[in-house]
Structure 1
Amino acid sequence: MPSALDPDLLAQLPPALRAAVEAQVQALALENAELRTRNARLEHLVRELQRARFGPRSEKLQPDQMELAFEDIEVALAAATEENDAAAESRTGDRPARTPRGPRRLPKDLPREERVLVPEDLLCPCGCGDMVRIGEDRSERLDVTPAQFRLIVTIRPRYACPKGRAGIRQAPPAPALIEGGLATEALLAHVAVAKFADHLPLYRQSQIMARQGVEIDRSTLADWMGKVSFHIAPIVDRMAVLLKRSAKLFADETTMPVLDPGAGKTKKGFIWAMLRDDRPWGGSDPPGVVFTYAPGRAGIHAEEMLKGFEGVLQVDGYQGYNRLADGRRAEGGRVRLAFCWAHARRKLIEARPSAGSPFV
């Protein structure tokens, strides 16, 4: 088959047919150009993912970064698939069949709203009257009700003796986390979870609220979070006490930039974590994690955070934890350290010769 149309043969066609062929050729050329662009984009994403996953720095790639790479590829693939399906439907009138998926695991207690679709006309063509129901098909789609702000108006009527012989009686104000504040406890929890669990900065939350006509300045949200932090501190302290009663814990530390008042820049601080999660091996204790800030990485900070714990502590190879196990601990008995296999493997990867090794 020739790779291009023969101009002489094309000139012999009737004008209408020749115009149709030329239009079809132009449309196919445009479609091929779009496909080449899309394929180049997908090939680029695959190369970037392979470089991140198997390249020299793959050991330093964080799981969240890997998830972002996968998301980019999956979004691009889904967009290409949808575009191809739409093009096929426009040509043939039928949409390509989807690969059936297994049952989705959704909570059984989710609210369910049933919508019954009945044909507009139930009159039987044979003239016997209306058709009767003999069965049904069911399908489920997951829906969401967007967050909606509302004002809770608390009314406290005042009562008095109709004859003026006694004082006024009125119910006391309802207790509130922020006395006299605008935010309810539910709104405070919503903002806190969005910021600290979902990493949504306060200025973005302020912008989201503004889209619904609720103008709350970022500084106001920050003030709310400061008050929440103060009131929730006893709960965090109690969580730490309960965690340190465990037979085994995991601990780690990482850098965190913090404000350096007067210097006009940030300085390096450290966030320390102690964690318990026995779910993978059927443990009965609930999972939990408590974070502690410290200005440095010295082992004394680990000792302070883990004061009262005397079980097995899983850590990386950082020597600052050794003081918990070698008798230098000021209070309590020695902790038994359990080192991490993933970090041990990382050392082997770093020690591998540039030419490769049959053992690593």
Structure 2
Amino acid sequence: MSQPLDLSRFPDLPPEVVAAFAAQHEALEAARFEASVERAARQHEQAVVAEKEAFIAELKELVVTLEGQIQQYRRAKFGPKSEKLDPAQLDLALEDLETAIAETEARIAAVEEKIAASTLDPEKKARRKPRKARALPEGLPHVERVVEPDSIACPCGCGDMVRIGEDRSKRLDCIPARYQVIVTVRPRYACPKGRAGVVQAKAPAHLLEGSWPTEALLAQIAVAKHSEHMPLNRQSLVMARHGVPIDRSVLADWMGRTGALIAPVVERMTVLLKTGGTRLYVDETTAPVLDPGRGKTKTGYLWAVLRDDRGWGGPAPPGVVFHYRPGRAGENADEILDGFDGTIQVDAYGGYTHLAKPDRKGGKPLALAFCWSHGRRKLIAARPKAGSPIVDEALARIAALYRIEAAIRGKDAGLRRTIRQEQSRPLVDKFFAWLAAQADRTSRKSDLGKALHYMLRRQDGFRLFLDDGHVDMDSNLVENAIRSPAMNRRNALFAGHDEGGRNWARFASLIGTCKLNDVEPYAYLRDLFTSIATGHLDKDIDALMPWAYAAATKTSQ
């Protein structure tokens, strides 16, 4: 910066000249200051723009990543490969994809906040939109924590400020599991003069006499294993972490003895399911079992028999019973369905075919309603990588039938049959005529040819739903019920013995039926174990069914 001219060296200058020189110098300094300010502002603006451009580039990259993840999620959930995945595998894949999507969305939100913070004009700064509030489950206990200011003294000196309102926010908390020992004390009383005997209350009944666990603890262990798929060895580790070191073998002993005590309830439920309606769903899934003699596992099976008449508004409550059998042979189906007459909804497994023959053992010939979802999956699995117009057309025709089904779900059986006769039958007739034409020009040895003939050879079973409003188009309900035992199998790997497989089946039956009736499994099992301990099993076993428990719970509320 230049120094001002020293006018003291020119004492003879007129005052007006001195004033002019001073004014000129001030104007020059002001201009220089404004230029420096403008230069600094321009540099700051350039830095902000560069920062925003970097943020925007990062944001664009994250958006591309998010779009790719969403496409992967859609392909995993709705694409052809999802039909080939085990439901448990699909859930695990979707879980990880949903986690990745949530992480990317959080990073995008953080970058958007940085962009807003770097905006030059404060008026244009956009606040981040709050996440949509989710309703917490009703019935949870609420603990209020009031956060007061450090001081409510008014700055004006008039005294304390007056409360005019409040803000409330809710967060979900968890109290870790706490184990406790219940000490039962039974005082003894006697006559002080020795004229009478001793009085003492009877000891409370326990499900497992002479053992530590309460009925509540047994219910927790059973639900953790058979509903939340936590094997006993992992539960033992968790209990040790909470200060209760109980060996896995002890837990297994408790579950084995408990499983034997609930067997009559499951057996009675089996009878009620087979006698309470004219249509059942039947399916089977593998249950690996350890074969000690060979040191390997053998393949056992859990056969599921499910009743659910809600699709046509039937009065019978839903229920499912799992039967463990060491094999998949058709005689197992004979035994399990002994005494049932009516229709079974199944896949096209050959082990059910003989049940429809006149010489069927255990009752009249059964009607076999085949599952359209299985036929659809066969077509999807046969579709070449390059695509197939035949498969696409077949799926579109099947989708039209499912749209009709969605509209009549829950309607009276007679109305369902009428609508199917009017709307679905013409579509089914055209579908199989078209399918036959496509099969004639497709090699039987190809995957597509096999898929087409799979449905053509079984079209009587695929058509059965048209003539009976009680029947559904598919057996998806029983497949959904089988998912829970399948997840248990995935986590526990195998049952240690055939009796272990039967134990699995009993607990899976009770818990699966609880879920169908919107009953909390832990509460049901806890109360069931208490009822069995007090002898209710011999008084009224039908009152111990999960659907009876559901009705009693609703009545008491």
Rounded Cα–Cα distance in structure 1 between residues aligned with 2:106 and 2:383 = 44
- Answering whether residue 296 of structure 2 is matched by residue 272 of structure 1, we say no
Match of 1:241 in 2: 271
SS of residue paired to 1:359:
helix
Residues 254 and 270, structure 1, Cα contact 8 Å, conserved in 2: yes
Matches within 5 A, 1:283-322: 283-322=314-353
Deviation at 1:353, TM superposition (A): 5.0
Rounded Cα–Cα distance in structure 2 between residues aligned with 1:282 and 1:117 = 52
1:63 partner amino acid: P
Rounded Cα–Cα distance in structure 1 between residues aligned with 2:128 and 2:242 = 39
Deviation at 1:334, TM superposition (A): 2.6
Distance 1:74 1:55, change over 3 A: closer
Residues 88 and 96, structure 1, Cα contact 8 Å, conserved in 2: no
SS of residue paired to 2:277:
coil
Match of 1:324 in 2: 355
Q: 1:65 aligned to 89, 94, 109, which one?
A: 89
Rounded Cα–Cα distance in structure 1 between residues aligned with 2:290 and 2:79 = 35
Deviations 1:203-240 (A, max 9, x none): 11001111111011000000000011001111111221
Match of 1:230 in 2: 260
Match of 1:252 in 2: 283
Match of 1:210 in 2: 240
Deviation at 1:127, TM superposition (A): 4.7
Match of 1:160 in 2: 190
Match of 1:5 in 2: none
1:68 partner amino acid: L
Rounded Cα–Cα distance in structure 2 between residues aligned with 1:161 and 1:90 = 83
Deviation at 1:103, TM superposition (A): 5.0
Distance 1:181 1:308, change over 3 A: same
Rounded Cα–Cα distance in structure 1 between residues aligned with 2:239 and 2:149 = 42
Deviation at 1:338, TM superposition (A): 1.5
Q: 1:106 aligned to 129, 133, 137, which one?
A: 137
Residues 337 and 362, structure 2, Cα contact 8 Å, conserved in 1: no
Higher relative contact order structure (alpha carbons within 8 Å, sequence separation ≥ 6): 2
The count of aligned residue pairs is: 332
- Answering whether residue 220 of structure 2 is matched by residue 190 of structure 1, we say yes
Bigger shift: residues 159-168 or 202-211:
159-168
SS of residue paired to 1:268:
strand
Matches within 5 A, 1:77-92: 77-83=101-107, 85=109, 92=117
Task: Compute the RMSD of aligned alpha carbons.
Answer: 3.5
1:239 partner amino acid: M
Bigger shift: residues 196-205 or 92-101:
92-101
Deviation at 1:197, TM superposition (A): 1.2
Match of 1:339 in 2: 370
Rounded Cα–Cα distance in structure 2 between residues aligned with 1:278 and 1:123 = 67
Deviation at 1:250, TM superposition (A): 1.1
Unaligned runs of 5+ in 1: 1-20
SS of residue paired to 1:205:
helix
Distance 1:139 1:271, change over 3 A: same
**Structure with the bigger percentage of strand:** 1
1:144 partner amino acid: C
Bigger shift: residues 120-129 or 289-298:
120-129
Rounded Cα–Cα distance in structure 2 between residues aligned with 1:70 and 1:228 = 36
**Structure with the bigger percentage of helix:** 2
Distance 1:82 1:346, change over 3 A: closer
Residues 315 and 340, structure 1, Cα contact 8 Å, conserved in 2: yes
1:215 partner amino acid: P
Deviation at 1:81, TM superposition (A): 3.9
Bigger shift: residues 155-164 or 83-92:
83-92
Residues 208 and 257, structure 2, Cα contact 8 Å, conserved in 1: yes
- Answering whether residue 390 of structure 2 is matched by residue 359 of structure 1, we say yes
Rounded Cα–Cα distance in structure 1 between residues aligned with 2:365 and 2:92 = 41
TM-score by length of 2: 0.52
Deviations 1:294-326 (A, max 9, x none): 111122211211222223211111121122222
Rounded Cα–Cα distance in structure 2 between residues aligned with 1:59 and 1:83 = 32
Distance 1:208 1:103, change over 3 A: closer
1:176 partner amino acid: H
Unaligned runs of 5+ in 2: 1-46, 119-124, 392-557
Match of 1:144 in 2: 174
Rounded Cα–Cα distance in structure 2 between residues aligned with 1:95 and 1:270 = 60
2:282 partner amino acid: A
Residues 225 and 231, structure 2, Cα contact 8 Å, conserved in 1: yes
Distance 1:280 1:198, change over 3 A: farther
Bigger shift: residues 150-159 or 332-341:
332-341
Distance 1:90 1:352, change over 3 A: closer
Residues 347 and 370, structure 2, Cα contact 8 Å, conserved in 1: yes
Residues 188 and 225, structure 1, Cα contact 8 Å, conserved in 2: yes
Deviation at 1:90, TM superposition (A): 7.9
Match of 2:210 in 1: 180
1:332 partner amino acid: G
Residues 178 and 227, structure 1, Cα contact 8 Å, conserved in 2: yes
TM-score by length of 1: 0.78
Bigger shift: residues 112-121 or 60-69:
112-121
Bigger shift: residues 248-257 or 283-292:
283-292
Residues 338 and 361, structure 2, Cα contact 8 Å, conserved in 1: no
Deviation at 1:83, TM superposition (A): 4.9
Distance 1:328 1:127, change over 3 A: farther
